[in-house]
């Protein structure tokens, strides 16, 4: 199961890292004519984006090549300090956003920025802060999930392959058990409602037969009376 999670983490890190790098380049171009004091607002996301790309690359190489297995450990150990860095950056940017937005509004004419560009920076700045904060939480989860990996990384190739295989087999076994339990649950519900509607149909049929019998008796009585 961890192997699937690790692959998912790597994909998320690579995608988010690329987004942060693109955002940083776009923001740098937009702030190119501004004071260097605001350069921190594109340098911080750029540093996080590059770090995420490096982590995902190391992890991908460690998963793909047995001779590069140590890179998995490096990527795993980096998760905790990177998570602290991401949480610190997202928190600091959140509290500095008012000063940044005020700077943009006061100097947009000098930087030749349109109102649309300023509004776009406002929106994307909030999105990037939220993304970095969520990534920080995910990195903490990744560090926790990597505990067994760090404990088994020093094993020889055969033992480590057995660890990977056992983890994959356990995940598949749990998936199969979950599917079986789900199937049994729905089969039981299906049988329950089937029995319920069968009894309901039998009762309705009996009621119809009783009504028909009573109607027949009434017609017979009327005929005799006539």
Instruction: Please identify, among 35, 64, 93, the residue that sits at the C-terminal boundary of a domain.
Output: 64
Nearest to 87 by CA among 123, 37, 36, 141: 141
Q: Which residues contact 63 (CB under 8 A, 6 or more apart)?
A: 3, 6, 7, 10, 72
Query: Same structural domain for residues 46 and 74?
Result: no
DSSP state of 156: -
pLDDT at 161: 56
Residues spanned by the domain of 101: 68-156
pLDDT value of position 128: 92
pLDDT at 117: 83
85 lies in the same domain as 38: no
Residues 29 and 99 in one domain: no
Residue 10 and residue 80 in one domain = no
Residue 213: predicted pLDDT: 46
Residue 210 in domain: no
Assess whether 37 and 89 both reside in one domain. Answer: no
Q: Which pLDDT score, from 0 to 100, does residue 60 have? A: 81
Could you say which of 14, 38, 64 is where a domain stops? Answer: 64
Residues 151 and 74 in one domain: yes
Tens digit of pLDDT at every position of the chain (226 positions)? 556 777 788 888 899 999 999 999 988 888 775 556 678 888 889 999 999 999 888 888 877 776 677 777 777 788 889 999 999 999 988 898 888 888 888 877 777 778 888 888 889 999 999 999 999 998 888 888 776 665 655 554 555 555 556 656 565 666 667 777 777 777 677 777 666 666 665 555 555 555 554 455 444 444 444 4
Of 34, 64, 94, the one marking the end of a domain is 64
Let me know whether 90 and 36 are in one domain.
Answer: no
Let me know if residue 128 belongs to a domain.
yes
200 is written with which tokens? 């309901």
Total of domains in the chain = 2
d(CA 164, CA 158): 10
The whole-number pLDDT of residue 175 equals: 66
Same-domain status, 8 and 56: yes
């Amino acid at each position: 199961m961890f192997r699937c999670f690790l692959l998912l983490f790597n994909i998320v890190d690579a995608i988010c890292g690329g987004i942060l790098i693109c955002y940083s380049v776009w923001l740098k171009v937009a702030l190119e004519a501004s004071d260097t004091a605001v350069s921190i607002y594109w340098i911080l996301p750029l540093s996080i984006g590059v770090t995420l790309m490096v982590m995902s690359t190391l992890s991908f190489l460690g998963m793909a090549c047995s001779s590069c297995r140590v890179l998995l450990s490096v990527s795993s150990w980096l998760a905790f300090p990177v998570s602290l860095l991401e949480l610190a950056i997202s928190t600091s940017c959140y509290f500095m956003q008012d000063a940044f937005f005020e700077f943009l509004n006061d100097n947009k004419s000098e930087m030749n920025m349109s109102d649309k560009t300023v509004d776009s920076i406002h929106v994307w700045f909030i999105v990037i802060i939220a993304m970095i904060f969520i990534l920080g939480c995910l990195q903490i989860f990744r560090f926790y999930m990597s505990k067994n990996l760090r404990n088994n990384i020093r094993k020889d190739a055969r033992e480590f392959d057995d660890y990977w295989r056992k983890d994959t087999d356990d995940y598949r076994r749990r998936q199969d058990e979950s599917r079986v339990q789900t199937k049994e649950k729905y089969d039981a519900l299906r049988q329950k409602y089937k029995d319920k509607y069968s009894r309901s149909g039998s009762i309705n049929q009996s009621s119809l037969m009783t009504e028909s019998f009573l109607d027949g008796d009434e017609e017979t009585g009327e005929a005799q009376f006539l």
